[in-house]
């Protein structure tokens, strides 16, 4: 059950991402260029994967590394999908408020299950489908504010473009995850070699994004490499290490578990973040938060518990042949 430990660690690291990012701010603002964080995280993952590949035991047969172009050309696709997804996210926020966007983001839980079934041909039981829907309901419930607040009315008052972009964002997020799982399980290549391919292209695309930012800003702040570490503190470096470590754990789950485990891990992380925020940022818990946690825990149990635990089966009585007793029967003949 190694994947349980990895998923639990992923939950802890993911829940601390938002907290560390908030702590890295100064007076509510970032002193560093936030666009450099994903780039440095990709570089960190690339270095760690290279070290692990180099230190991988020299056993027979050696670690498999497919280098033909037909396979390598598939690895930039997740980076392209995530790049499009990031732009769709920004476009969505121009039509809906933050609360509505967070609630609509839970659609990716259901879309991941659908694409998981369609593209990877993984069959889910009816109980597991119900569990996935319950997970989406639970996370949404925890994010809904009191109905007396103005933000509650804004959930259904956004333009249609906002809802369409929100659905597209959920589909792109699910597609990137499912496609990455397909790549990781496509062959028996070393996990670290596959990571190197993924993160090399990830670093290239993130660097291209920094260059595009420079052109859009007219190089007012100078080229990106000159301000790469400007404003960085210990907490900022912790954000980079956290984001990089999270990515390494996700790739492990994609290789040896599946997308649904990752979805549950990240969903539980969101709830854990809310609970920790109660102690760190004076976040006031709501009834919806507690109800959402209960629903998500029920969903977790429903999805991963064996069916015999969830459904009461009628006990079958088995008879021992040796315990059977032969009863003599008197046969009366009819005399005429």
- Whether 104 and 145 have beta carbons less than 8 Å apart is answered as no
Distance CA 77, CA 287 (A): 42
- pLDDT for 3: 87
- pLDDT for 168: 94
- pLDDT for 284: 82
Mean pLDDT is lowest, of 92-106, 150-164, 246-260, 266-280, for 150-164
- pLDDT for 47: 97
CA angle in degrees (0–180, nearest 5) for 304-308-309: 60
CA angle in degrees (0–180, nearest 5) for 182-11-305: 75
- pLDDT for 1: 66
- Whether 228 and 37 have beta carbons less than 8 Å apart is answered as no
Name residue 26's beta-bridge partners.
29
pLDDT at residue 320 above 70? no
Give me the residue spans of the domains in the chain: 1-27+35-147+154-307
**Which residue would you say has higher pLDDT here, 160 or 112?**
112
Name residue 29's beta-bridge partners.
26
- Whether 91 and 167 have beta carbons less than 8 Å apart is answered as no
Between the CA of residue 277 and those of 35, 192, 253, 264, what are the distances in Å?
25, 35, 27, 20
Mean pLDDT confidence for 230-243? 94
- Whether 264 and 135 have beta carbons less than 8 Å apart is answered as yes
Q: Which of 83, 6, 7, 74 is nearest to 39 (CA)?
A: 83
DSSP string, 128-182: HHHHHHHHHHHHHHHH---TTSHHHHGGG-S-HHHHHHHHHHHHHHHHHHHHHHH
Question: pLDDT tens digit string along 11-43?
Answer: 999 989 888 988 888 887 888 888 899 999 999
Other Cβ atoms less than 10 A from the Cβ of 67: the count is: 9
Whole-angstrom distance between the N-terminal and C-terminal Cα of the chain?
78
- pLDDT for 221: 81
SS3 33: coil
pLDDT at residue 258 above 90? yes
Computed over every residue of the chain, the mean pLDDT equals 86
pLDDT at residue 333 above 70? no
- pLDDT for 155: 57
Distance CA 171, CA 56 (A): 36
Angle between helices 160-185 and 107-119 (to 10 degrees): 40
* Reported confidence tier of residue 193, pLDDT bands at 50, 70, 90: very high
Question: pLDDT tens digit string along 259-308?
Answer: 999 999 999 998 888 888 888 777 788 888 899 999 999 999 999 988 77
Mean pLDDT confidence for 158-165? 86
Between the CA of residue 257 and those of 48, 104, 198, 261, 263, what are the distances in Å?
21, 26, 18, 7, 11
* Reported confidence tier of residue 325, pLDDT bands at 50, 70, 90: low
Where are the extended beta strands (E) located within the chain?
Answer: none
Distance CA 11, CA 7 (A): 6
- pLDDT for 153: 55
Question: pLDDT tens digit string along 129-159?
Answer: 999 999 999 999 988 875 555 455 555 667 8
Other Cβ atoms less than 10 A from the Cβ of 76: the count is: 16
């Amino acid at each position: 059950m190694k994947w349980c430990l990895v998923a639990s660690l992923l939950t802890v690291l993911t829940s601390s991402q938002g907290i560390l990012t908030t702590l890295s701010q100064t007076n509510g603002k970032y002193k560093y260029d936030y666009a450099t964080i994903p780039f440095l995280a990709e570089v960190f993952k690339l270095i760690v994967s290279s070290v692990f590949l180099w230190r991988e035991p020299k056993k027979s047969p050696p670690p498999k590394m497919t280098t033909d172009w037909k396979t390598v050309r598939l690895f930039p696709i997740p980076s392209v999908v995530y790049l499009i997804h990031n732009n769709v996210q920004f476009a969505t926020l121009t039509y809906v408020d933050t609360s509505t966007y967070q609630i609509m983001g839970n659609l990716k839980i259901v879309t991941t299950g659908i694409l998981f079934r369609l593209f990877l041909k993984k069959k889910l039981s009816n109980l597991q489908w119900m569990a996935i829907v319950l997970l989406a309901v639970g996370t949404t419930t925890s994010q809904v504010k009191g109905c007396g607040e103005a933000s509650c009315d804004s959930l259904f008052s956004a333009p249609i473009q906002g809802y369409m972009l929100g659905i597209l964002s959920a589909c792109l997020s699910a597609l990137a995850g499912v496609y990455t799982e397909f790549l990781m399980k496509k062959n028996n290549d070393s996990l670290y070699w596959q990571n190197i391919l993924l993160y090399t292209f990830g670093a290239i695309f993130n660097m291209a994004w920094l260059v595009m930012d420079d052109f859009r800003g007219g190089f007012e702040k100078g080229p990106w490499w000159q301000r790469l570490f400007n404003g960085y503190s210990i907490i900022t470096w912790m954000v980079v290490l956290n984001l990089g470590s999270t990515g390494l754990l996700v790739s492990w789950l994609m290789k040896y578990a599946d997308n649904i485990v990752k979805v549950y891990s990240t969903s539980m992380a969101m709830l854990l973040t809310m609970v920790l925020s109660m102690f760190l940022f004076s976040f006031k818990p709501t009834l919806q938060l507690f109800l959402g946690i209960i629903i998500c825990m029920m969903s977790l149990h429903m999805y991963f518990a064996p069916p015999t635990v969830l459904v009461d089966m009628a006990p079958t009585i088995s008879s021992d042949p040796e315990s059977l007793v032969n009863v003599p029967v008197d046969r009366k003949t009819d005399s005429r």
